[in-house]
Structures are given as structure tokens and as C-alpha cells.
């Protein structure tokens, strides 16, 4: 049985680089990175990250913004911009809001005693309901929190809800902010690089963290404008290997790739580029390289956008999917900032420079703690 097509009809990115998808993508093509050396109150030593400065005005047009946390303000700013472009009836029963995040409002535990009221306020379901009520959604919001594949799992969930016939539109939004809790957690793994990250590079030594939000509006209704993007398929697998260390073989991410390709009904030769997770940790990049090689895609151009945004956790899959969709529409493959020398046992075709051409299909991958993996296929509808 063929599934009904699902289209991306609107999108947004709010990041330290820009506040719309177009602004972000134009600056990505110009080689602008949001990563800076930061001195913050929650870290005793400076660290590289892509963080919002205090003067970023993403909350300026949110009524009573003081009632919401930074995390919720980010979600609202991103959803608002995407909805204005989508022009669908998001208040009707045929539209669902899906919220993806890894850590949400976890910073609230740094400021107060953990009591019943705080536990309710900190819950992702509370934030999702606040966002839904702000925009007058009438359906119950769906929350996805599955480590660093949350954004892609939210996209896949939206696609499947639409294909089931339950909804016609899905507003898929993801966000994460960097706090003392998040930074100290990654430092405890010795996973944070002392320099801007270097995905797939021989000299890589850890991640650079980042904060951002992104929104994708999915619909079963094909956009009227020429040149649209279809979300063709998606798959999720698990390594069952270790609570934080990924698979040593890459077989499980490979299985997610194979499943997504089969579901999309495309030939692997039709994949024009891969947007990898590419965190720049020793183990993640090695695992991804093995998975891509097992899938026979090692010659396909691959990039990681972590050198622009840092690792934006639960937002990463959505941020990078939006960038990939714009790459397809503009005939552009973005480079991989920080990559100089191949550093994985299975060499990949890591893209170093801005490329232009005719590109129709992209594979997006992600992996996360607990051994989770996800893959989706995007295709330009010509």
C-alpha cells in the first residue's frame, strides 16, 4: 500500500546566526558560524558554544513573554514564523503540534527547590501545553524526547500521523537551550571540545554545544508553489550497546538508513548528499562512517552542520533538516566547518567547500545517547 505524500509547506530556524530559515541559510552559504568563546555565569572557565546573546530579540513579539521561559519563548518565536508562512488552520481538529526537546526547562532545577510545583512546571508536557494554548491549538500537543534524535523522531511521528489519516497538518517544533546542567553533564563525559568542533576530522576531540529552535510544518496538501520538498520516509533503530557509547560497528544506524531508503522507494544512487549527525566525538563520527560505508554510500557527499550551530541537542535534527531542504531547493551542498584531515577508519566524502548543482534527494541521519538512531529521506518534488 502506497502512503499518501507528506510535504514540507513551511519552516523556520531561530539561532544565534539568524531568526528565519532564509536568513540562516543565506548566512550558512556565506560561511557564517554562530560559535564563539563564551564567558558565562554558569561556567568557571570560558567555553566555545553557539549561544544567544542577551540582546537577541526573538521574544520581542510574544505577548506576556515574561510568563514563559527562554526555552518556551524560543519555541514560540519559531512556531510563529513558520505558521505565518504555512497559512493553514492550525486551530482546527486536523492540525497537531509536536514538540521535541532533550532538556526543555531543566535549568529550573538550578534555581529552586524541587517540589511538586517545580516538577509540574519543568515537565515538557507543561511547556508543550503553554505553546499550544498561546497559538490556540485545539488538539492535544505531542511531546517527543528521545535524546539527540528527538527532532527527527518528531518529524517521523508527524509524517506517520498524517499518513494515518488522523491529521492533515503537523507543526513540528524543537528547541533546546544550554545551561549549567547541560554543560556540566557533557563535561562529565569529557565530551566537550576546547576548540570549535571538527566533525570527522583526525584532530576532533569533542562536541561544541549550541542552542536553537526550528519548526517544520508538514501537510498532506501539496504546496501550490513550484519546487517543494517531500518527507519521503523515516526510520528509528537502537544499538542496545551502551547508555552513552554508540555502536562499534555502525550496523544499527545502517539498518535505519536501509529501512528509510526502502520505505522511500528510491535507489541509493539517487541520494545526492548526506546531512550527518557529525558531533565530532571520536566514537560518534567513527560509528557514522561505518554505517554510511555499510550502506554503500561512502562516495556520496556528506556534511555536518555542527561547526555552524554546535550541537543543538533535541533541535539538531530539525535545524539540519530545514537546512537540507533549503540545500535541495537552492542546488547547494554546504561544507563541513572544522574538517581538514580524514579521521575515521572508513573514509567518507566529507564536503569541504560550497558546492552547486542539481540535487534532488538527501539522507539525514542522527544518533543519540542510549544508542538511538534515526534516518529520514527528503526529496525535491519536481
Alpha carbon distance 309, 378 (integer Å)? 21
Burial label, 331 (beta-carbon count in 10 A; 0-12, 13-18, 19+): middle
**Distance in angstroms (rounded) separating the CA atoms of residues 130 and 310:** 27
If one compares 90 and 112, the residue with the highest pLDDT of the two is: 90
Do residues 110 and 183 both lie within one domain?
Answer: yes
Of 219, 254, 273, which one is at a domain's C-terminal end?
A: 219
pLDDT of residue 98: 98
Among the residue ranges 56-60, 322-326, 330-334, the one predicted with the least confidence is: 56-60
Q: Are 71 and 173 members of one domain? A: yes
Q: Which of 219, 237, 253 is the C-terminal boundary of a domain?
A: 219
Residues 54 and 30 in one domain: yes
* Per-residue model confidence as pLDDT tens digits over 337-379: 999 999 999 999 999 999 999 999 999 999 999 999 999 999 9
- Domain closes at, from 164, 189, 219: 219
For residues 210 and 241, membership in a common domain is answered with no
Determine, yes or no, domain membership for 1.
no
Whether residues 249 and 368 fall in one domain: yes
Nearest to 346 by CA among 248, 266, 279: 248
User: CA 276 to CA 91: how far, in whole Å?
Assistant: 35
pLDDT digits (tens, 9 = 90+) for 1-30: 468 899 999 999 999 999 999 999 999 999
CB 381 within 8 A of CB 230: yes
What is the number of domains present in the chain? 2
Residues 28 and 151 in one domain: yes
Q: Where do the DSSP E strands lie in 178-275?
A: 209-210, 212-219, 228-238, 273-275
Q: Residue 69: its pLDDT value, please?
A: 95
What pTM was computed for the model? 0.97
Domain, as residue range, for 240: 228-381
Q: Average pLDDT, stretch 131-157?
A: 98
Once rounded to an integer, what is the mean pLDDT over residues 86-109?
A: 96
376 and 275 in a common domain:
yes
Distance CA 237, CA 253 (A): 7
pLDDT exceeds cutoff 50 at 87 = yes
pLDDT single digits (tens) 111-137:
778 899 999 999 999 999 999 999 999
Angle, to 10 degrees, between the axis of helix 150-163 and the axis of helix 316-330?
Answer: 70
Q: What is the pLDDT of residue 2?
A: 61
Q: Indicate if 59 and 86 belong to the same structural domain.
A: yes
- Give the per-residue pLDDT at 352: 97
User: Are residues 195 and 303 part of one domain?
Assistant: no
Mean pLDDT of the chain: 95
pLDDT tens, position by position, 221-275: 998 777 799 999 999 999 998 888 898 999 999 999 999 999 999 999 999 999 9
Average pLDDT over residues 306-327: 98
Ranking 88-92, 223-227, 301-305, 347-351 by mean pLDDT, the lowest is 223-227
Asked if residue 288 is part of any domain, the answer here is: yes
| Amino acid 1: pLDDT | 44
Task: For residue 96, give the nearest of 170, 163, 159 by alpha carbon.
Answer: 170
Distance CA 184, CA 364 (A): 29
State the CATH number of the domain containing residue 316.
3.40.47.10
Contacts of 124 (CB under 8 A, 6+ apart): 99, 101, 104, 105, 143, 145
Residue 150 sits in the same domain as residue 278:
no
Amino acid at each position: 500500500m502506497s502512503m499518501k505524500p507528506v510535504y514540507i509547506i513551511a519552516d523556520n530556524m531561530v539561532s544565534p546566526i539568524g531568526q528565519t530559515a532564509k536568513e540562516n541559510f543565506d548566512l550558512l552559504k556565506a560561511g557564517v558560524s554562530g560559535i564563539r568563546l563564551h564567558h558565562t555565569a554558569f561556567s568557571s572557565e570560558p567555553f566555545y558554544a553557539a549561544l544567544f546573546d542577551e540582546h537577541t530579540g526573538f521574544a520581542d513579539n510574544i505577548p506576556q513573554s515574561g510568563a514563559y521561559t527562554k526555552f518556551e519563548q524560543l519555541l514560540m518565536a519559531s512556531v510563529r514564523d513558520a505558521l505565518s508562512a504555512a497559512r493553514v488552520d492550525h486551530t482546527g481538529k486536523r492540525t497537531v503540534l509536536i514538540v521535541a526537546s532533550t532538556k526543555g526547562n531543566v535549568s529550573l532545577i538550578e534555581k529552586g527547590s524541587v517540589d511538586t510545583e517545580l516538577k509540574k512546571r519543568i515537565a515538557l508536557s507543561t511547556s508543550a501545553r503553554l505553546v499550544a494554548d498561546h497559538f490556540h491549538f485545539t488538539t492535544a500537543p505531542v511531546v517527543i524526547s528521545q535524546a539527540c534524535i528527538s527532532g527527527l523522531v518528531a518529524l517521523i511521528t508527524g509524517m506517520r500521523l498524517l499518513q494515518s489519516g488522523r491529521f492533515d497538518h503537523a507543526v513540528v517544533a524543537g528547541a533546546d537551550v544550554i545551561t549549567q546542567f547541560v554543560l556540566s553533564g557533557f563535561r562529565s563525559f569529557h565530551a566537550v571540545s576546547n576548540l570549535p568542533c571538527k566533525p570527522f576530522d583526525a584532530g576532533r576531540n569533542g562536541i561544541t554545544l549550541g542552542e536553537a529552535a526550528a519548526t517544520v510544518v508538514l501537510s498532506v496538501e501539496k504546496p501550490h508553489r513550484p519546487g517543494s520538498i517531500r518527507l519521503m520516509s523515516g526510520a528509528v533503530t537502537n544499538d542496545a550497546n551502551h547508555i552513552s557509547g554508540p555502536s562499534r560497528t555502525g550496523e544499527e544506524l545502517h539498518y535505519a538508513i536501509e529501512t528509510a531508503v526502502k520505505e522511500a522507494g528510491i535507489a541509493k544512487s539517487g541520494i545526492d548528499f548526506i546531512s550527518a549527525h557529525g558531533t565530532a566525538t571520536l566514537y560518534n563520527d567513527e560509528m557514522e562512517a561505518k554505517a554510511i560505508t555499510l550502506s554503500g554510500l561512502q562516495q556520496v557527499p556528506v556534511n555536518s552542520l555542527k561547526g555552524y550551530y554546535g550541537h543543538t541537542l533535541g533541535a539538531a535534527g530539525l535545524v539540519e533538516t530545514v537546512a537540507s531542504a533549503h540545500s535541495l531547493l537552492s542546488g547547494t551542498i554546504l561544507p563541513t566547518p572544522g574538517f581538514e584531515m580524514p579521521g575515521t577508519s572508513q573514509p567518507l566524502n566529507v564536503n569541504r567547500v560550497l558546492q552547486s548543482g542539481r540535487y534532488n534527494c538527501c539522507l539525514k541521519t542522527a544518533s543519540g545517547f542510549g544508542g538511538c538512531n534515526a534516518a529520514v529521506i527528503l526529496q525535491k518534488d519536481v
